[in-house]
Amino acid sequence: MNKIYKILSLKSLILSLSFLLLGASIHAETTFEKIKRTGKVTVGTEAAFPPFEFIKDGKIVGYGKDILDYIISDLGVELNQLDLPWQGILPGVLAGKFDFVATSVSVRAERAKKYAFTVPIAEGTNWVMKRKGDSSIMSPDDLSGKVVCTQLASGAEKASQEWEKDMKSRGLEGFKELKLFTAHPEATLAVANGTCDAQTQPLPNLAVVAKNQEGIFELVGPISGKAYMGWVTRPEDTDLRDYLSSKILEMRDKGIIDELQDKWFGFKMPIPSDGYLPEGAL
């Protein structure tokens, strides 16, 4: 009986170890390894953020798309690029609906603890834009008592709220209203038609809008300190994040990033190798 019990116990132990090893092998594959094994990658993009990503002739184009195409060419895989509302981008990558975010994400302290950021692809300092000739707004402090608009759940929304708090701490009135839109182009239209007095958004975007529509808009000034925008992966996918960063830095060092910035923005933005992440970042 003891002999039979020992044999059964040994078989049970072997079976248990087999399941453990099988489970380990199943969960050992990273997203980056899966991409290389399957030859396919799915990315999440908000194609309503010109000139980073936007739709032209039915296709996604822009500064970020050119960077993505360079990386996909290096990987040699099939690209499935999803065009999604901004509000679903970050929750979507955490839920595993796509492999990484290939759209511009402002580097903020709370985000940097939840997502693995690549090196920056551009500056992300938030500025104010107004209708040209509106003398009632000459500096960011003049947003006091004004209707301000920006994108819902964006870095610009957070920066606007922080600027309003700062104004109040200095004895100024807060905004008359902070209007939130699904996408930045909707906020731009609201400024143009007078629904809003001013728009807050990262400088690279506003600079292009103001340049292309010179008689309609003009820039006012920053409402945040120097900031950056990058792409993100899930927190466990640091190998994928590091690969993406290496390709972005490769493009920078080869002068390709400068060429793309001239093409899409008309000016250059330095891309730092370090020092862009807040304390406690992944």
The CATH class for the domain spanning 126-222 reads: alpha beta
Structure tokens given for 278: 């807040």
Q: What is the reported pLDDT for 12? A: 54
Q: Which residues of the chain have pLDDT under 50?
A: 1, 7-8, 10, 13, 15, 17, 19-25
Q: Which amino acid is at 239?
A: D
pLDDT at 3: 54
Task: Specify the CATH class of 31-124+228-264 in words.
Answer: alpha beta
pLDDT of residue 28: 82
Name 229's Cβ contacts closer than 8 Å, sequence gap at least 6.
104, 105, 106, 107, 120, 121, 122, 123, 124, 155, 202
pLDDT score recorded for residue 11: 52
Concatenate the DSSP letters of all residues of 210-274 into one string.
HHHTTTTEEEEEESS-S-EEEEEE-TT-HHHHHHHHHHHHHHHHTTHHHHHHHHHTSS-----SS
Q: Do domains 31-124+228-264 and 126-222 have the same CATH topology?
A: yes
Domain boundaries along the sequence of the chain: 31-124+228-264, 126-222
Alpha-carbon distance of 152 to 70, in angstroms, equals 30
